[in-house]
């Protein structure tokens, strides 16, 4: 193909991409006019004004962008309020709490907040309750019904197909292996889940009560009476008005008592731009045919390093695995880069991970410690920073968590799946020729021998001792103090604070303020933000790392997600024998 033909194809693809991605939505452009504005912020996904896209290529911290945007709106004199569109929003307790804090600052500054949705789930309503007005669609509902945690057990299934889970662990509460070895929760796991549910439920009740200015007992009665239709929610005081979305313009005029202009702005779940299949091909072509060099400004800055997803070893991440895996290689490189860059005055590490590979977690921990010897390393825990996620966190100089953060889970497990029964069932036969007493340790055609089990348990116990000791050193506690709250036990952020596992309660914005102070600046000082890891070339990522087939599976239900996680775990177990990962069972609906 000649260069001219390539150019024509590029022009055609670009034209189709631009036509497909452009729309008539009015965007917020800051204080460009003197009109009084209500800015709509969508915390959910695609609203139908954008073309469908196949892959998410952005790795930007979406919560950070939302917080930054709300902060900017607070200082814009032309903005009289925010319309918070919660349709399709999927929020953890911690995310809800961080955004709620920003909404309170908006209201304290004299701006109005109106929350709107067709229907509101538990987490959505907890955030909506922080607004001046809660408005829902006439045929919508408020599904405020309380929270639950469900776990899927596979032992009976494994028995039927001839699979035996040979799992070992260190920590009485390290229940990540229980779905494979049991048919119900152990006493320790049940105790832990009930305690976590109590605290999560209390946080939800407290948040709603404060937002709606009612007593907590009244909120509990409302939860027990749910779910509610729109008219029932209005009568119960859960909603303030019932309107269709096309009526909101006039509603905001009436509510504000002035003529306001409604403009659309940021989306929490969407990427910065939608990428179609044609757009993806165009991006790949551009990446393959031009070199892009990144330069670092000479302004003082804070580096933000993200550790998001299951922690796995490796040298390169992929845009197609974004949000799925925290690959140790790029994260270690990012920490080293931030530590060596003289204009970086402090590093904030945002952790949103259930853990994963013990080895990969240790490599990131080491990079954290080396960076912390040069400049402040402040850890901000997101929705979850447990097991390997907590292992990484104790490498920092100061740890913050939201009240609703899931953390702790200091424990280790490992093992393998014995598939000999399945092989017999389907008529597959294996003949192995080995040398060495433990040469078949990792083979899936048989279980562990007593000697192999003893050796693997010794390794797991040693990693657990290292985990506890590093946590004790990082928290400036004794081994015995940390061991007492370890054993695989999982805590909420506020429980972790009372047990000395974190330094303070606060979100990402607070973490930046702490980083400034530790670096010798005032919290009012404006420092540049440098987000890391920087993406590999999209062309290199596409052909070098490939696309995880698991990441591409559309599995919307909680049970389907658990099955996907099980398959993913099977794959990881083939490469890793020691895991620092929180229990699968901790999903709060």
Note the pLDDT tens digit of each residue in 251-295.
Answer: 999 888 888 888 876 555 444 444 344 444 444 444 444 444 456
Q: Which of 33-37, 58-62, 175-179, 355-359 has the lowest mean pLDDT?
A: 58-62
Query: What SS3 state is found at 463?
Result: helix
- Tell me the mean pLDDT in the region 29-39: 67
- 3-class SS shares of the chain: helix, strand, coil, % to 5: 45, 20, 35
Whether 210 is covered by a domain: the verdict is no
Neighbouring residues of 543: CB distance < 8 A, sequence distance ≥ 6: none
How does residue 204 score in pLDDT terms, banded at 50, 70 and 90? very high
Mean pLDDT of the chain: 81
Q: How many CB atoms lie within 10 A of CB 119?
A: 18
Whether 313 is covered by a domain: the verdict is yes
Neighbouring residues of 31: CB distance < 8 A, sequence distance ≥ 6: 76, 77, 78, 79
Phi, psi (5° rounding) for residue 350?
-95, 115
Domain limits at 541? 299-581
- Tell me the mean pLDDT in the region 546-574: 53
pLDDT digits (tens, 9 = 90+) for 133-181: 999 999 999 999 998 888 889 899 999 999 998 888 888 888 888 888 9
Give 232: exposed, middle or buried? Use CB within 10 Å, 0-12, 13-18, 19+. middle
Query: What SS3 state is found at 224?
Result: helix
Phi, psi (5° rounding) for residue 314?
155, 170
Alpha-carbon span 496 to 407, nearest angstrom: 7
Q: Do 253 and 349 fall within a single domain?
A: no
Cα dihedral across residues 404, 409, 413, 418: positive or negative: negative
Q: Decide which of 7 and 219 is more confident.
A: 219
Q: Do 353 and 415 fall within a single domain?
A: yes
Q: Do 373 and 434 fall within a single domain?
A: yes
Among 267, 291, 318, where does a domain finish? 267
Q: Which of 30-34, 51-55, 80-84, 108-112 has the lowest mean pLDDT?
A: 51-55
Q: Decide which of 581 and 14 is more confident.
A: 581
Alpha-carbon span 249 to 241, nearest angstrom: 14
DSSP H or E run through 353: strand 344-353
List the alpha helices (DSSP H) in 247-400.
248-256, 277-289, 328-340, 358-372, 388-393
Q: Do 257 and 131 fall within a single domain?
A: yes
Taking a C-beta distance cutoff of 8 angstroms, is the pair 233, 142 a contact?
yes
pTM: 0.82
- Tell me the mean pLDDT in the region 51-65: 49
Whether 535 is covered by a domain: the verdict is yes
Alpha-carbon span 266 to 41, nearest angstrom: 5
Distances (CA, A) of 345 to 7, 65, 299, 376: 44, 21, 10, 8
Give 373: exposed, middle or buried? Use CB within 10 Å, 0-12, 13-18, 19+. exposed
Q: Please report the pLDDT score of residue 565 as a whole number.
A: 61
Proportion of the chain above pLDDT 70, given as a percent? 76
- Tell me the mean pLDDT in the region 179-187: 91
DSSP H or E run through 235: helix 230-236
Q: Is the per-residue pLDDT at 428 higher than 80?
A: yes
Q: Do 232 and 313 fall within a single domain?
A: no
Q: Which of 235-239, 245-249, 290-294, 315-319 has the lowest mean pLDDT?
A: 290-294
Looking only at the bridges linking them, the beta strands covering 325-327 and 310-312 are parallel
pLDDT digits (tens, 9 = 90+) for 448-506: 889 988 998 999 999 999 999 999 999 999 999 999 999 999 999 999 999 999 999 99
Structure tokens at 472: 């004790």
How many domains is the chain partitioned into structurally?
2
How does residue 45 score in pLDDT terms, banded at 50, 70 and 90? low
Taking a C-beta distance cutoff of 8 angstroms, is the pair 49, 23 a contact?
yes
Q: Decide which of 261 and 124 is more confident.
A: 124
**Nearest to 318, CA basis, from 57, 495, 45, 31:** 57
Q: Do 262 and 350 fall within a single domain?
A: no
Structure tokens at 107: 């209201």
**Nearest to 79, CA basis, from 69, 87, 89:** 69
* Tally of CA atoms within 13 A in the half-sphere of 546 that contains its CB: 3
Q: Do 262 and 305 fall within a single domain?
A: no
Q: Which of 72-86, 462-476, 557-571 has the lowest mean pLDDT?
A: 557-571
Q: Decide which of 289 and 333 is more confident.
A: 333
Among 245, 267, 289, where does a domain finish? 267
Phi, psi (5° rounding) for residue 412?
-140, 145
Whether 180 is covered by a domain: the verdict is no
Cα dihedral across residues 327, 328, 330, 335: positive or negative: positive
List the alpha helices (DSSP H) in 146-186.
155-161, 178-181
Q: Please report the pLDDT score of residue 567 as a whole number.
A: 65
- Tell me the mean pLDDT in the region 178-188: 91
Q: Please report the pLDDT score of residue 320 as a whole number.
A: 43
Q: Do 441 and 376 fall within a single domain?
A: yes
Q: Which of 85-94, 196-205, 358-367 has the lowest mean pLDDT?
A: 85-94
Q: Is the per-residue pLDDT at 511 higher than 90?
A: yes
Q: Do 254 and 366 fall within a single domain?
A: no
- Tell me the mean pLDDT in the region 101-119: 94
- Tell me the mean pLDDT in the region 189-204: 93
Q: Do 470 and 522 fall within a single domain?
A: yes
Q: Do 476 and 347 fall within a single domain?
A: yes
Whether 480 is covered by a domain: the verdict is yes
Q: Please report the pLDDT score of residue 416 as a whole number.
A: 86
Whether 191 is covered by a domain: the verdict is no
Whether 274 is covered by a domain: the verdict is no
**Nearest to 65, CA basis, from 32, 99, 116, 93:** 99
Whether 489 is covered by a domain: the verdict is yes
Q: Please report the pLDDT score of residue 77 as a whole number.
A: 87
Q: Do 248 and 361 fall within a single domain?
A: no
Residue owning tokens 């001219």: 4
Alpha-carbon span 134 to 221, nearest angstrom: 19
Q: What is the CATH number of the domain that holds 25?
A: 3.90.226.10
Q: Please report the pLDDT score of residue 263 as a whole number.
A: 84
Q: How many CB atoms lie within 10 A of CB 121?
A: 20
Q: Please report the pLDDT score of residue 239 as a whole number.
A: 96
């Amino acid at each position: 193909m000649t260069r001219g033909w390539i150019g024509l194809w590029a022009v055609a693809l670009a034209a189709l991409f631009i036509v497909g991605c452009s729309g008539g939505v009015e965007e917020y452009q800051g204080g460009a006019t003197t009109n009084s504005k209500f800015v709509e912020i969508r915390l959910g996904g695609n609203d139908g004004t954008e073309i469908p896209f196949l892959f998410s290529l952005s790795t930007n911290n979406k919560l950070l962008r939302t917080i930054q945007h709300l902060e900017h709106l607070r200082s814009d004199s032309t903005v009289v309020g925010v319309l918070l569109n919660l349709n399709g929003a999927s929020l953890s307790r911690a995310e809800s709490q961080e955004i709620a804090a920003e909404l309170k600052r908006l209201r304290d500054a004299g701006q109005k907040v109106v929350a709107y949705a067709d229907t509101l789930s538990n987490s959505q309503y907890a955030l909506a309750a922080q607004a001046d007005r809660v408005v829902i669609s006439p045929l919508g509902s408020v599904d405020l019904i309380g929270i639950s945690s469900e776990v899927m057990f596979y032992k009976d299934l494994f028995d039927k197909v001839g699979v035996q889970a040979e799992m070992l662990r260190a920590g009485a509460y390290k229940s990540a292996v229980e779905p494979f070895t049991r048919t119900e929760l152990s006493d320790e796991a049940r105790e832990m889940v009930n305690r976590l549910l109590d605290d999560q439920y209390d946080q939800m009740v407290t948040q709603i009560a404060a937002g709606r200015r009612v007593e907590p007992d009244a909120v509990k009665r409302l939860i027990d009476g749910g779910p509610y239709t729109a008219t029932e929610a209005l009568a119960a005081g859960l909603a303030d008005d019932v309107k269709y979305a096309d009526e909101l313009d006039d509603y905001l005029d009436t509510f504000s008592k002035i003529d306001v202009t409604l403009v659309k702005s940021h989306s929490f779940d969407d990427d910065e731009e939608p990428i179609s299949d044609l757009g993806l091909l165009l991006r790949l072509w551009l990446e393959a045919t031009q070199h892009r060099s990144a330069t670092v400004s000479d302004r003082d800055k804070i580096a933000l390093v993200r550790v998001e997803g299951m922690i796995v070893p490796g040298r390169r991440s992929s845009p197609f695995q974004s949000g799925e895996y925290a690959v140790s290689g790029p994260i270690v490189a990012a920490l080293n880069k931030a530590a060596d860059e003289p204009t970086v005055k402090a590093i904030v590490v945002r952790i949103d991970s259930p853990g994963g590979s013990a080895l990969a977690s240790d490599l990131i921990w080491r990079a954290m410690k080396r960076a912390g010897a040069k400049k402040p390393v402040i850890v901000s825990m997101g929705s979850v920073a447990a097991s390997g996620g907590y292992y990484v966190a104790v490498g920092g100089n100061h740890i913050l968590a939201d009240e609703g953060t899931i953390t702790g889970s200091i424990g280790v497990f490992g093992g393998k799946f014995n598939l000999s029964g399945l092989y017999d069932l389907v008529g597959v036969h294996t003949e192995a020729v080995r040398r060495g007493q433990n040469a078949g340790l990792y083979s899936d055609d048989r279980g562990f021998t007593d000697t192999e089990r003893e050796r693997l348990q010794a390794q797991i116990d040693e990693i657990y001792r290292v985990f506890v000791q590093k946590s004790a050193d990082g928290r400036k506690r004794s081994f015995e103090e940390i061991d007492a709250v370890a054993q695989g036990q999982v805590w909420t952020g506020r429980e972790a604070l009372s047990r000395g596992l974190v330094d303070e309660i606060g979100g990402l914005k607070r973490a930046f303020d702490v980083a400034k102070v530790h670096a010798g600046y005032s919290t009012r000082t404006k420092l540049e933000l440098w987000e890391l890891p920087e993406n590999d070339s999209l062309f290199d990522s596409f052909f070098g790392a490939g696309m995880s087939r698991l990441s591409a599976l559309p599995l919307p239900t909680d049970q389907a997600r658990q099955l996907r996680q099980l398959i993913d775990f099977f794959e990881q177990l083939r490469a890793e024998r020691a895991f620092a990962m929180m229990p699968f069972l901790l999903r709060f609906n």
